[in-house]
Structure 1
Amino acid sequence: MNDSAAVNGSDTTAPWEAAVALAAAGCSENNGSCLAYSADVPPLPFPVNPWDIMLCISGTVIACENAIVVAIIFYTPSLRTPMFVLIGSLATADLLAGAGLILNFVFQHVVSSETASLITVGFLVASFAASIGSLLAITVDRYFSLYNALTYFSDRTLRYVHAMLVVTWGASLGLGLLPVLGWNCLGEPLDCSIVRPLTRGNLTVLAASFFAIFALMLSLYCRICKIVCRHAHQIALQQHFFGATHYVATKRGVSTLAIVLGTFGASWLPFATYCLVGQREYPAVYTYATLLPATYNSMINPIIYAYRNTEIQRSLYVLLCSCFRPDRTYRSSVSKRVLADVRADSDPVIQ
């Protein structure tokens, strides 16, 4: 969000620090996106802020990765279970977030406009909020699938999943519309946060919502970890072999949970924390340095939740075979063999 951060324009700022800050803010006399700047600052050695380029590249990778996941789930009839519905929601949200990062770059450096910037920021807020909300929904679904394993595969579960998605996307859309409907600092620059044109109050609400979701996910994953350990212990007792089997199963489940939650926390915690403690006068490079890792979470999500899944791997294989071998007879025979070979051999925590 290149015009998002406020810039300290005091004369005590070193020239190179002021240049980096002005580049990160995307200041321009034409669109008035810079709050203040010093006339003694030398011209920038590059026309485009490199942080914006990295965000645009990140958005492109995110969009491509998640577009493949969405296409696979949409065109594969067997992937209609609650688990894949939630994975599809996550991939859709991350796909929109990647597209939003690309649009943000275009609107800031090609079609510069305050209105376009406001709409883009609202679009990004809604997309990332939907991504985090979908991660919470997946966590809740995983907990209930392990806690109520006997009744999980039922129509009631699918209705419950649809209800969670309606709440998730409804809340995300509401958060994204807040700045567009008037909760922004375009009229009062002094009320801007580190992410312009969001106000400090708006950004505080978003950060507080993230910490609440993260705490809930942490609590659910702790309970999932206990269930996984208990199930592994019961399986080991039934097999009359308590030792290496129990240790491997428990270690696999715990390590998977650590990867899932650790990746999410490492990506978003720095930016969420800086949203609470940062001020608009701080150099914009701090905002970029914490925002860029947050976008990596949407880049890693398809790998953790989709590409590691055996059924999606087989569906991707069928899709690639149909692209390179368009013969219908061949495609049909491959699809039948793959569907007949599908079995639940992926990590139960991810599935």
Structure 2
Amino acid sequence: MCEANQTKVLQIYLLGFRGLNKFKPLFFIVFLLSYIVILGGNILIITVVSVVDHLKIPMFIFLKHLAATDILMTTTVLPMMLNIILVQEGTLSVFGCITQLYCFATFGSVQCLLIAVMSYDRYLAICKPLRYASLMNPHISFQLVIGSWFLSILLVSAELTLMCQLNFCGLNYIDHFLCDLGPLIELSTSNKLTSMILDFISSIFMVSLPFAFIVMTYIYIFITILKISSANGQKKAFSTCSSHLAIVCTSYGTLITVYLMPTDYSEVNINKYKSLLYIVVAPMMNPIIYSLRNPEIQRAVHKLLNNVKMSKTSI
């Protein structure tokens, strides 16, 4: 409950990027184009994997779901961020703010788990090639995708249920462009210890353990590749996981920079601009990495475009 001299907060104001002034149109255009690239690139990945038969294998099925989480996560944040740039600030109810945080955290957590699952897929393909078909069949890949969603929703729901019990009194603004966990906890007037402990536990399951698993699988992958006698065989083996490794570096590099590197929550401007790395840069880079580095995706895109052209000419 709020004290007698405090007002219960019903709405939270997101201050966004204050002081943009003449740079506001530039920021708006840059982020709008980034959002279009994110939507276009990831929708293209989803379409190609769904339509082209020879891409309906576990690695590309995981990639399709990863592209879907990129779209969902950025759509949770970017449209409102664009509006904040235009009108200087955004307004959300406390429930709306927690809902945005819930969606953002869930999609981000699923993404972390999917990247870890993809590393396991690459481990089986390179280190256990003879058993790959039995260990990673469509049924198992479907279970891994569903498991990633279930575990993420379960942990984030537990954390956000506790957030709903916090009191928000007095201050009602966040110097950010989204309702991120740190600034929202700082805004609460309740005892924050339990929320911070649960957030720490969730980050271990959602970020630290998947990252440790990825590192472990790639250690085995590199050891296996080094044991291959021919240079051509080593190159071919490495090419099968190079795109995924690039995504690991992009996604986890930005994630660790934003959320795991020690930064005081009071350093709002630093955290705010660092968040753009994970929310804008990583989702934009993932489809670019796969379209540029994966020859199968390139061939599938060319085939799809040719089919579209042929259908137009036949009309």
The TM-score by the shorter chain falls in which range? 0.7 to 0.9
Structure 1 length normalisation: TM-score?
0.66
Instruction: List gaps (5 residues or longer) in structure 2.
Output: 1-8, 171-179, 187-194
Q: Is residue 224 from structure 1 mapped to residue 204 from structure 2 by the alignment?
A: no
State the 1:316 CA deviation: 1.3
- Name the SS of the counterpart of 1:93 in structure 2: helix
Deviations, residues 32-71 of structure 1 (Å, cap 9, x unaligned): 4479xxxxxxx95649989995666644432221111111
Amino acid at match of 2:167: G
Among 314, 317, 321, the alignment partner of 2:306 is 321
State the 1:134 CA deviation: 0.8
Q: Which has the higher contact order (CA 8 A, sep 6+)?
A: 2
- Name the SS of the counterpart of 2:55 in structure 1: coil
% identical equivalent positions: 17
Deviations, residues 100-144 of structure 1 (Å, cap 9, x unaligned): 122442686566433222211111111111111111010001101
- Name the SS of the counterpart of 1:152 in structure 2: helix
Q: Is residue 285 from structure 1 mapped to residue 272 from structure 2 by the alignment?
A: no
The whole-number CA distance in structure 1 between the counterparts of 2:294 and 2:20 is: 46
Distance 1:260 1:93, change over 3 A: closer
Distance 1:59 1:174, change over 3 A: farther
State the 1:152 CA deviation: 1.7
Task: Name the counterpart of 2:209.
Answer: 212
Amino acid at match of 2:184: R
State the 1:180 CA deviation: 4.6
The whole-number CA distance in structure 2 between the counterparts of 1:34 and 1:102 is: 13
The whole-number CA distance in structure 2 between the counterparts of 1:257 and 1:230 is: 21
Structure 2 length normalisation: TM-score?
0.73
- Name the SS of the counterpart of 1:187 in structure 2: coil
Amino acid at match of 1:322: N
Task: Name the counterpart of 1:129.
Answer: 109
Deviations, residues 54-91 of structure 1 (Å, cap 9, x unaligned): 66664443222111111111222332211221111111
Task: Name the counterpart of 2:189.
Answer: none
Deviations, residues 147-167 of structure 1 (Å, cap 9, x unaligned): 221232348622221221111
Among 59, 65, 68, the alignment partner of 1:89 is 65
Bigger shift: 136-145 or 321-330?
321-330
- Name the SS of the counterpart of 1:266 in structure 2: helix
Distance 1:50 1:173, change over 3 A: farther
Count of residue pairs the alignment pairs up: 281
Matches within 5 A, 1:100-115: 100-105=76-81, 109=89, 112-115=92-95
Distance 1:125 1:34, change over 3 A: closer
Amino acid at match of 2:182: I
Task: Name the counterpart of 2:99.
Answer: 119
The whole-number CA distance in structure 2 between the counterparts of 1:49 and 1:189 is: 32
Q: Is the 8 A contact 1:271 1:294 kept in 2?
A: yes
CA RMSD of the aligned region, Å? 3.9
Task: Name the counterpart of 1:272.
Answer: 259
Distance 1:247 1:88, change over 3 A: closer
Amino acid at match of 2:104: L
Matches within 5 A, 1:60-209: 60-105=36-81, 109=89, 112-154=92-134, 157-178=137-158, 180-184=160-164, 187-188=167-168, 194-196=182-184, 199-209=195-205
Distance 1:202 1:324, change over 3 A: farther
Comparing both structures, which one devotes a greater share of its residues to helix?
Answer: 2
Distance 1:119 1:107, change over 3 A: farther
Amino acid at match of 2:289: I
Amino acid at match of 1:84: F
Amino acid at match of 1:323: V
Task: Name the counterpart of 2:294.
Answer: 309
The whole-number CA distance in structure 2 between the counterparts of 1:165 and 1:173 is: 13
The whole-number CA distance in structure 2 between the counterparts of 1:57 and 1:197 is: 32
Deviations, residues 220-276 of structure 1 (Å, cap 9, x unaligned): 111111111213x1xx2xxxxxxx6578668868976764543344222111224xx
Instruction: List gaps (5 residues or longer) in structure 1.
Output: 1-28, 36-42, 237-243, 331-351
The structure with more radius of gyration? 1
Bigger shift: 212-221 or 251-260?
251-260
The whole-number CA distance in structure 1 between the counterparts of 2:201 and 2:240 is: 34
- Name the SS of the counterpart of 2:11 in structure 1: coil
